[in-house]
Amino acid sequence: MKTFERYVLSEIAPLLFGALAAVIALLVVASLERYLAPLLAKGAPPLLVARLLALNVPEAAARALPIALMFAVLLGLSRLAADSEIKSALAAGIPATRLYRPVLILGGVVTALAFALGEGLVPRAQTQIREVQQQIVLANPRVLGLGEQNVVLRDALGRAISIGQILPGGELRDLRIVTMQDGLPPREVITAREGRLIPGSTTLTLKGGQRVTYQDARPVTILSFETGTLPLQDTGTDLGSAAQARPVNDPLPVLWNRLSTYRTQGIQAPAEFTALHQKFAAPLAALALAFFGVSLAVFSFRSGRNVGFVWALMLTFAYYATYSVFNVMGEKGALPGAVAAYAPDLVAVLAGSLLLWLSARR
């Protein structure tokens, strides 16, 4: 790599780290204010809440990397242009297009890092988040929401545990435990008038209930009981958390196998299909945004305009808003998953290509 290219990277890299730290902090603080602070108010152990907060960092980092890169490229190249360093490079016979090589190499590194985070740290962090959520619930069942209705717990055995109401002292009312099967009707449904999750225990006690088993959606056995116990395994609840289960956080093999089952059974699952494409589109956004950033910097230099901090910030948030809108449309089925996932990247590449064409005409 030539001296000029190393110099460009030396300008962008510190801004990238700073922007990454800022975006991660914003995402984590938003999670703290919206979800985790209420947990503390409900009596959740502070150390467990702090651990839950820390486990959100890998996902925040994977989401923040492409956005931070675009902001760093825009701001770094803007400073080079404002200080006439790009003009000096042109005078020395270095074409402005030489800016693309170091930035796109950096974009490739960021893409690989974002994909590695999404396939490595993020799934492991999600597993630990579920374990911490279980510890929070078992330490103080009231964090599920004192007086709230229709709270849902899920465990590793595929059971959805619906709680009609949570009363003082940890008493639970109107429970419904459904053993789910992917793409099939429930295998078992247990209802109970009341129950209790004893702090520190992994067993749910039930009173005044009924157990119904099914085969091909038809009842096979019906059993009434006065008291009973239900062992729980890796119980998790979203607890209002930003870390609630999202298909894009599942490892790629797990997500692919689930989608293969859905295809075989003809099940529409737009959120999962969008997540599959997001596995690749989200990291590739780093390359698309790097290309757009350099193209805008070259165009700005040749047109005599300067992209300052405010414009860099506005363009960064504009991309994030575009990404969020398309992602929601894909998850709701308003757009095909591939279109929703890759559209923001395509918009960035097309905008960069247009700016490059306009720069060549000047």
Within this chain, do residues 14 and 97 fall inside the same structural domain, yes or no? Answer: yes
129-133, 249-253, 354-358 — which is least confidently predicted?
129-133
- 143 CB contacts (<8 Å, ≥6 apart)? 39, 42, 43, 44, 136, 137, 239
Query: Domains in the chain: how many in total?
Result: 2
Q: Is the dihedral of CA 249, 251, 254, 259 positive or negative?
A: positive
Identify the top-confidence range among 85-94, 242-251, 333-342.
Answer: 333-342
Q: Is residue 135 part of a domain?
A: no
Instruction: Indicate if the pLDDT at residue 147 is higher than 60.
Output: no
- Beta strand 203-215 pairing with 218-231: antiparallel
Within this chain, do residues 285 and 354 fall inside the same structural domain, yes or no? Answer: yes
Q: Is residue 215 part of a domain?
A: yes
| pLDDT tens, residue by residue, 209-240 | 999 998 877 888 999 999 988 877 655 454 54
Within this chain, do residues 103 and 153 fall inside the same structural domain, yes or no? Answer: no
CB-side neighbour CA atoms (13 Å) of 216: 0
- The residue range of the domain holding 277 is 3-120+265-360
Q: Is residue 256 part of a domain?
A: no
Within this chain, do residues 214 and 176 fall inside the same structural domain, yes or no? Answer: yes
Output the pLDDT for position 301.
75
Q: Is residue 204 part of a domain?
A: yes
Which residues are registered as beta bridge partners of 227?
207
Residue 362: pLDDT band (50, 70, 90) is low
Q: Is residue 128 part of a domain?
A: no
Q: Is residue 126 part of a domain?
A: no
Within this chain, do residues 11 and 115 fall inside the same structural domain, yes or no? Answer: yes
| pLDDT tens, residue by residue, 7-56 | 888 889 899 999 899 888 887 777 766 666 667 766 677 888 888 888 88
- Listing DSSP states for 71-89 in one string gives HHHHHHHHHHHHTTHHHHH
Within this chain, do residues 304 and 240 fall inside the same structural domain, yes or no? Answer: no
Tokens encoding 13: 């890299």
Within this chain, do residues 240 and 269 fall inside the same structural domain, yes or no? Answer: no
Within this chain, do residues 103 and 12 fall inside the same structural domain, yes or no? Answer: yes
Within this chain, do residues 234 and 281 fall inside the same structural domain, yes or no? Answer: no
- 307 CB contacts (<8 Å, ≥6 apart)? 74, 75, 77, 78, 296, 297, 300, 315
Within this chain, do residues 202 and 276 fall inside the same structural domain, yes or no? Answer: no
Q: Is residue 255 part of a domain?
A: no
Beta strands across the sheet bearing 218-231: 149-154, 159-166, 171-181, 184-197, 203-215, 218-231
Long-range contacts, 33-36 (Cβ 8 Å, 24+):
34/240, 34/242, 35/239, 35/240, 35/241, 35/242, 36/241
